[in-house]
Amino acid sequence: MRKRKQKEGIKRRRNSKFWWASFTDASGRRVEKSTQTTSKTEALKVRAKWITDEWNKQIRGVHTDATFPQVALYFLRGTKSVKRSSGTDEQRFKPLVSYFDDELNMNTFSSDDVRGYIQSRLLEDIANKTINKELSVLSTAIKWCNSQFDWALPNPCVGKRLPEEEVEARCLSATEVKLLLKAARDTTLPDNQNKHTKIYLPEFIILGFTTMMRPSEMLELEWDRVDFSSKTVELRVEDTKGKQRRLVPLNDDAVGALLRLRRVCDENFPDTPWVFTHTKPRHFGKRIKSVSVVFATAVARAEIAHATPHSLRHTSITEGVHVDGANVVDIAKVAGHKNLKTTMGYVHTADARLQEVVSGLPKIETL
């Protein structure tokens, strides 16, 4: 009987002079990397060491060579089911993963490494605020790994926060919102430019302006949480940034926008749970996850100053405060703010309104 040859776990690649080893790491992921040696005997020894190290990590909790990708992977996988911002964490890790070497040993991660990253991002003209958020998620990942696995990885991200310029969030005027809505509905452009966008973007703008909901709350909205009879939208604890359930009231404009979106779903994918669903063939039937690009296009077409989807929330809260008989406490409840100070930070009063305030004061001097 012919004896079966035992697999050695190493092989040669046509485009490399070194032996490559394959093995399973502590997270269960299949890994294949270069042993950096042309000697088969040495390559087998290197692979054996790697396997021993992975076994120590998994069974004994010993972690001698935590690499940057491992820290990122463990953190993102370990927090995915408990962090609502997991998707945001993944996005913020992308430039970090692109910059740092796959073989970077996190036990030797230093302040120089962090400074190098900061300098690289600054040269790309990335805002300090964005860089701070990226370093913050990396710092959190290191702390999480140290806590979960009893590691002692250094955290040189601490103390590297860059100064941030306080820039007031953009608040649109009612006129600008109308111009933006008109641009989103523009039917004079060739169909291939906005055929699918004009199905959902105008309704997104209307809902953002009339409900005070965050962009993510709208894009993650499901039909079973829309109640047309009571004219409300339910945001559950897991749907909100503040982890607080709230019922969002709908005015006639908001109800009209939702009815139009419901009609689109009924005609194309009646079983979809998502209010905002793609009709574009490439993503047909999938949830719309972002409107940033198409929103920016509409802003440019409307020829108004820079604005983001979140500007609609600022605008809605500001306009709500100026409604006759408005109560800031009620505004905060609709917006989902636990603290009135947070609500007031969203309020932007136009210069014309400020003039009206002083003009309405009683006259005290006779000319």
pLDDT tens sequence for the chain (367 residues):
444 444 678 888 888 888 888 888 767 778 888 888 888 888 888 888 888 777 766 655 555 568 999 999 999 999 988 877 778 889 899 999 999 988 888 988 999 999 999 999 999 888 898 999 999 999 999 999 999 888 889 999 999 999 987 655 678 888 999 999 999 998 776 555 578 899 999 999 999 999 999 999 999 999 999 999 999 999 988 887 777 889 999 999 999 999 999 999 999 999 999 999 999 888 899 999 889 889 999 999 999 988 989 999 988 888 888 787 777 788 888 888 877 777 777 666 555 555 555 566 666 665 4
Residue 274 DSSP label? B
**Joined tokens for residue 33:** 């990397």
CB 348 within 8 A of CB 311: no
What residues does 287 pair with on adjacent strands? Answer: 277
Q: Which residues have C-beta within 8 Å of that of residue 84, sequence separation ≥ 6?
A: 238, 241
**Joined tokens for residue 10:** 């190493």
Q: Are residues 265 and 332 in the same domain?
A: yes
Q: Are residues 288 and 342 in the same domain?
A: yes
* CA-CA-CA-CA dihedral for 329, 332, 334, 338, to nearest 10: -110
Strands (E) in the chain, as ranges, are 10-12, 19-24, 30-34, 226-227, 232-235, 246-249
Q: Are residues 299 and 199 in the same domain?
A: yes
| pLDDT given for residue 351 in this prediction | 55
Q: Are residues 342 and 194 in the same domain?
A: yes
**Joined tokens for residue 201:** 């973007």
Does residue 222 lie in a domain region? yes
User: What SS3 state is found at 327?
Assistant: coil
Q: Are residues 204 and 314 in the same domain?
A: yes
Rg (CA), the chain: 27
CATH of the domain at 320: 1.10.443.10
- From CA 98, how far away is CA 20, in angstroms rounded? 23
Q: Are residues 345 and 247 in the same domain?
A: yes
Angle at which helices 111-123 and 128-149 pack, to 10 degrees?
A: 150
Identify the sign of the CA torsion 210, 211, 214, 216: negative
Residue 291 DSSP label? -
Q: Which range of residues forms the domain containing residue 120?
A: 68-149
Q: Are residues 96 and 40 in the same domain?
A: no
Q: Are residues 221 and 276 in the same domain?
A: yes
Q: Are residues 31 and 74 in the same domain?
A: no
Does residue 226 lie in a domain region? yes
Does residue 360 lie in a domain region? no
Q: Are residues 339 and 228 in the same domain?
A: yes
Does residue 163 lie in a domain region? no
| pLDDT given for residue 181 in this prediction | 94
Question: Of 132, 149, 166, which one is at a domain's C-terminal end?
Answer: 149
Q: Are residues 51 and 84 in the same domain?
A: no
